[in-house]
Structure 1
Amino acid sequence: MMDAIVWSEVLWSIFRILYLAVIVTTIFVVILENRNPVKTMAWILVLFFLPLVGLVFYFFFGRSTRRERLISKKGYSRLNKRPMAEYQAQEAFYDLNNKNPLISFFRKINSALPFDGNQVAVYTDGYAMLQALMHEIGQAKHHIHLQFYIFEDDSVGRLLRDLLIDKAREGVKVRLLYDDVGCWKVNPLFYDEMMCEGIEVQSFLKVRFPRFTSKVNYRNHRKIAIIDGKVGFIGGMNIAERYLRGFSWGIWRDTHVCVKGKAVYGLQTAFLTDWFVVDRMLLTSSEYFPKMEWQGNVVAQIVTSEPVGDWHDIMQGLIKALCSSKRYFYIETPYLLPTEEVVVALQTASLSGVDVRVMLPKRADTYLTHKGSLSYLDELMRAGVKVYLYRKGFLHSKLWVSDDEFSSVGSTNMDFRSFEHNFEANVFFYDVEMALRLKGVFLADQKHCQLLSRKLWSQRSWKNKITESVVRLLAPLL
C-alpha cells in the first residue's frame, strides 16, 4: 500500500516537473521568435497565469508558422503577376501615380494597379446589396466567381444557392470559395448540393488534424464577387440572414460597393490567386479579363493583404494615409484593437490638427473583442480623436474617408487579426465624388451615435475599467 502511495507521489512529481518544463520552454520559444513585444508579453502572461489554457491556445493559434509553409511569398507574387499580365494590356493607367501618394505606395508593395473609368454603387444595408448581387448574377453569361468568409445554410444562403444552380444549368461557369473556419457550422451537404449541379466549390485552408495548427490562425476574410469579369462587389457583407435582419436589439449596419469597370481586374486577380491556393488550377485566360469600355469617372485600386512576407500592406497604407491627411479622417470599424503603430498614427494626425473621428458600435456581437476595443478609447480621446458609439444596432462597416480626396471600403477591421493574420481586400478610391458620397454615409451614421467625452467616459464603473484593461492584454491574440 505504501509502495503505491510512494509511486503515485513520484509520478505526480515527474508530471509537475515535465509540465513546468513545457511551460518554461514554450515561453522561451515565444521570446526567441522576436515578435512584436506587445504580442510576446500577451502570450507570456497567458502561459504564466493560465498555463494549461495557454498551452492549448498557443499550440492552435500562437505558433508563428506563417503562411510560407502553405504558399511562399515568392510563389504568391509569381501567381499575382501571371493574371496581372493579362489585364496590364488592358490600359492600366500608370500616369495616375502622382494623383495620390497612396497609389504609388500600393503599386510598389502590393503590385496593385490603379484604374480610372469606373462606376460605383454604394450599399449600406444587406437587402439592397443582396438584391443587386442577385440581379447581376442573373445577368451572367460566362462566369460567376464568389468568395465569402461566411456563406451560411439559411434562408439567404439557400436563396443565392438556388440562383447559382439555375445559372450553372444554363451553362455559366460558377466557382464558390468560402472560408473553412468562417463556415464551420455549415453542414457540408449544403455545398455538396451545389457541387452535384456542376458548381465548383472550395473551402479555403481546410482545418483538419494534424494540420489544424498551421492553418486555423490564417483565415480568408475577403468578401468579393465577380460576374463575367466586368462587374465586381467588395465590402464587409457576408451571405447570412443576420446581415439583412440584424439582431433583436438593433439593425446590422454594413457597407458594400459594386464596381463596374477596369478595377474589376484587381478583384478577379485576387479571386483567381486564392483559387489556385486551394485548387492548384491557375486560370489566366483573357476571357476572365475582358476588354471594357469607360464606365464612369472613379479612379480605383484593389489592394489585398496576406499573412506573408515582411509588410502589412493595408495597415501600412492606412498609416501613410493618416499621416498624409490635412483636414479630416473618418473611420468606421466594428472592432478597435489597433497595433501600436496605428494608435500612434491616429494620435499624431489628431495632434496635427486633423479632425480624426472613429466610429464603432456601442454594442457588438462579441463580448471580449468589444471590451478590448473600449480600452483604447481614452488614449485616443486624450489626443483629440473624436469617438462615436453607434446606437442603432451593430456597426459592421469598414469605411475610411479623408479630405474629400481618398476613401476605402473593404473587409479590413481595425484590429491585429485583420492587419497581421487574415487575407483581406479593400478597394481604394481616389475621387472627390466617391469621397463625398462615403463622407455622407459616415455623417448619416453619426446622427445615430453618441459622442463620447473623456469626462463621461471616466465615470464608467471600475468593474468595466478593470475588465477592459485585462482583456486589452489579450488584444494581440483576439
Structure 2
Amino acid sequence: MIFMASVCHFPLLFAYGSLLLWTLVAAYALLITTLIVAVLSENRNPLKALGWVMALLLFPVGGAILYFVFGRSMRNVKMISRRNRRRLLNSESHRPLPKLNRELSPENKQRIMLGYSVAEAMVYPSNSIRIFNDGGEMFDSLFADISSARRYINLQFYIIANDKLGQRLADILIERAHSGVKIRIIYDYVGSFGSQTALLFNRLRSNGIEVHSFFRIQFPEKLGRLNWRNHRKAVIIDGNIGYIGGINVAQRYVDGGTFGRWRDMAARITGPGVVALQHNFAIDWKFMGHELLTDEVTEPEDYTSCNGSIDDVMVQIIASGPTNRWGNTHMLFIKAISGAKKRIFIQTPYFLPSEGLLTALQCAALSGVDVRLMLPYKSDSAVLTHASASYVEESLLAGIKVYFYEAGMLHGKLLLVDDDFVTLGSTNFDYRSFEHNFEENIVMYSHEVNNAIAELYKKDMDDCSQIKLSEWNRRPSMRKGRESLCRLLSPIL
C-alpha cells in the first residue's frame, strides 16, 4: 500500500520539481537578459560591450559574476553635491588668475581649456616645482616637510606598507599628532590590503590620526567595488606644500626590492597650485562620507627657496576617475599627443593603450614626430608585461621608438610633448587607469620643467636597449601566444 501511494504521488512530485526547475531557469534567463540590456543601455565602446554580451551568453554563471565584479559603471556618479562644491570653492583662499599673464602656444591654450572643461581644473601660474626621479630623495624631502608641519597633514596613497619605510612615516606622523597637528590619511583598500598593514593603521588610529580606506570591500554586497581603486598619491602639508606623483609608501620604492632599483617620478609643489591638491583631497574625503574639509590654504612666504626647484611654473591638477563623464586624463593625453609637432616622450610601467591613443601615437610618428616609448624590460606583473608587449610590433611599424629599461623596475608615469608640456602623476598608460581607477596628475606648462625632465629621460635611455622590428619578430611563437592571450584580458587588468 505504501509503495502504491508513493507511485501515485510520483507524478505530482515530478510536476512540482519540473515547475521549480523551469522557474529557476526563467529567473536566471531574466537575470542574464537584464544584465545584457544594462550593458547595451550604457552605450559603451562597441567592442567592450560586445565582449560582455558574449561572456554573458557563453558563460552565464561566470560571466554574471565577472560583470558584477568588473563590469558595472560608475559613470556620472556625483562625488560631491553642487552645494558642497560651492562651499569648498568659497573656502579656498587662492583663486587662479582670471586671465593668463603670459604667452602660451595655441596648443597649450586648448589643453588648458580641455582640462577645465572635463575636470573643472583651474590653471595656477607662479609655482615652484621640484622633480624627483628617485624614491629615496623624495621621501627624505617629504619627511622633512612633514616633520615641520604645524597645522595639518592630508595624505593619500594607493599603497601604504607596514615595512621599514611605512614605520618611519608612522613615527613622524605620530610625533606630529602628539604636537597637535591634525592628520588625515586615505588609503586604497585593495592596494593596502593585508593584516600587517592593518596593524600599522591601528597604531596610527590609536595615536589620534584619522585613517580611512577609500573603498572597503565586503562580501557579497560590496564586492563590485573591487574594480574601482583610488590610485592617487598626494600629500598636502599646512596648505602650502604639496606632493604628487607615482611613488607609494613601500620600501621597494627606495631600495628597489627584488628589482635592485625602482625608477619612479614625483613632484613637490609650492605656490597657489597647492589649492588644487587640497581641493581634490577634500572631494575624496567627502565622498567617503566624512565632513567637508575647509582647511586653510596659504602661500608660504619663501616658497621659491627649495633646493633644486624650478620657479614660475604654470600648473593644472587633473583628477580623473570612473565617475567622470569624459574620461579626463584619457582625453587630455589624446589632445596632447594629437597636437605634438616635434617630440613625444612616454614612460609607463604598463602600455595597454586604447584604440584612440594608439592611433594618435601612430599618426604622430608617421607624421615625423619623434615618438619614444620607454617600458620596463620586466615589470612587477607578468600578465601586464605580456599584454604590453603585444602592442610593441604595431608601435614599431609606425616608427615609434621603443626602449626597454633594464636597470630595474621602471614605474614612472610620464608624458612629455614638444618643449612646453609635461604631465606626471599616478596615471598609467592602460585601461585601468583611464577607466576604472581614481587618478591624479600634475600638468606643467613650462619650458624649464620640460627640458629638465627631457634630460632625465635621456639619462634613462642609457639604461635601456632599443627594440628593432627585425629582432622583435624573431621572438618565440609561444611568447607571442602568451602576449595575444594577455592582450584579450587588457580591458579588465
Task: Give TM-score, length-normalised by structure 1.
Answer: 0.91
Partner of 2:88: 83
Q: CA deviation at 1:23?
A: 5.2
Structure 1 residue 136 displacement after superposition = 0.5
Q: 1:90 & 1:363 partners in 2: Cα distance?
A: 44
Distance 2:429 2:138 in 1: 23
Answer whether contact 1:61 1:213 (CA < 8 A) is retained.
no
**Structure 2 CA distance, aligned partners of 1:320 and 1:211?**
39
Instruction: Please show how residues 397-436 of structure 1 align to structure 2 within 5 Å.
Output: 397-436=412-451
CA 1:403–1:65: 2 relative to 1, 3 Å: closer
1:80–1:322: structure 2 CA closer, same or farther, 3 Å change rule? Answer: farther
Q: Please tell me whether residue 469 in structure 1 is matched to residue 479 in structure 2.
A: no
**Secondary structure, counterpart of 2:284 in structure 1:** helix
The Cα offsets for residues 205-248 of structure 1, whole Å up to 9 and x where unpaired, read as: 22223541442222111000011111111000010122122242
Q: Partner residue of 1:304?
A: 319
TM-score by length of 2: 0.88
Say if 2:190 is the partner of 1:175. no
Distance 1:52 1:105 in 2: 42
Aligned equivalents of 1:143, 1:177: Cα separation in 2 = 14
Q: Does residue 121 of structure 2 align to residue 112 of structure 1? A: yes
Q: What do you get for the CA RMSD once the two structures are aligned? A: 2.8
Distance 2:292 2:298 in 1: 14
Match of 2:389 in 1: 374
The structure with the larger Rg is: 2
Q: Pick closer, same or farther for the CA change 1:58–1:322 going to 2, 3 Å.
A: same
1:83 aligned partner, one-letter code: L
Q: 2:235 aligns with which of 195, 206, 225?
A: 225
Per-residue CA deviations over 1:370-418 (Å, capped at 9, x if unaligned) read 2111111111221111111111111110011121111111000111111
Number of residue pairs matched? 473
Do the aligned partners of 1:165 and 1:194 also contact (CA within 8 Å) in 2?
yes
CA contact (8 A) 1:67 1:218 kept: no
1:293: how far off? 6.0
Change (3 A) 1:309 1:137: closer
Structure-1 residue corresponding to 2:308: none
Alpha-carbon displacement from aligned partner over 1:56-104 (angstroms, at most 9, x marks no partner): 2212111224462xxx26x456544433334464553631586222122
Range with bigger deviation, 249-258 or 76-85: 76-85
Q: Which residue of the partner structure matches residue 140 of structure 1? A: 149
Per-residue CA deviation, residues 19-75 of structure 1 (Å, 9 max, x unaligned), is 67755664454344321122223334544565543332212111224462xxx26x4
Q: Deviations over 1:112-167 (max 9, x none)?
A: 12222222112112211111110100111111110111111111111101110000
Where does residue 95 of structure 1 map in the other structure? 100
| Counterpart contact for 1:223–1:236, Cα < 8 Å | yes
**What is the correspondence of 1:149-298 to structure 2 with a 5 Å cutoff?**
149-186=158-195, 187-285=197-295, 287-290=296-299, 295=304, 296-298=311-313
How far does residue 10 in structure 1 lie from its aligned partner after superposition?
6.8
Distance 1:158 1:342, change over 3 A: same
* Identity within the alignment, %: 38
- 1:64 match: 73
* C-alpha distance 304-179 of structure 1, shift in aligned 2 (>3 A): same
Q: Distance in 2 between matches of 1:88 and 1:167?
A: 25
Q: Please state whether the residue corresponding to 1:423 is helix, strand or coil.
A: strand
Instruction: Write the distance in 1 (CA, Å) between the matches of 2:257 and 2:76.
Output: 35
Gaps of 5+ in 1: none
SS at match of 1:163: helix
CA distance in 2 between partners of 1:17 and 1:462 (Å)? 45
- Equivalent-residue separation in structure 2 for 1:470 and 1:340 (angstroms): 18
Q: Given residue 439 of structure 1, which amino acid in structure 2 is its aligned partner? A: A
Cα 1:96–1:110 shift into 2, 3 Å? farther
Q: Report deviation, 1:334.
A: 0.7
- Residues in 2 aligned to 1:133 and 1:404: alpha-carbon distance in whole angstroms: 28
Secondary structure, in 3 states, of the residue corresponding to 2:364?
Answer: helix
Tell me if the contact between 1:80 and 1:269 (Cα under 8 Å) persists in the aligned partners. no
Describe how 1:331-346 pairs up with structure 2 within 5 A: 331-346=346-361
Report what 2:307 is aligned to. none
Q: What is the rounded CA distance, in whole Å, between the counterparts of 1:348 and 1:76 in structure 2?
A: 40
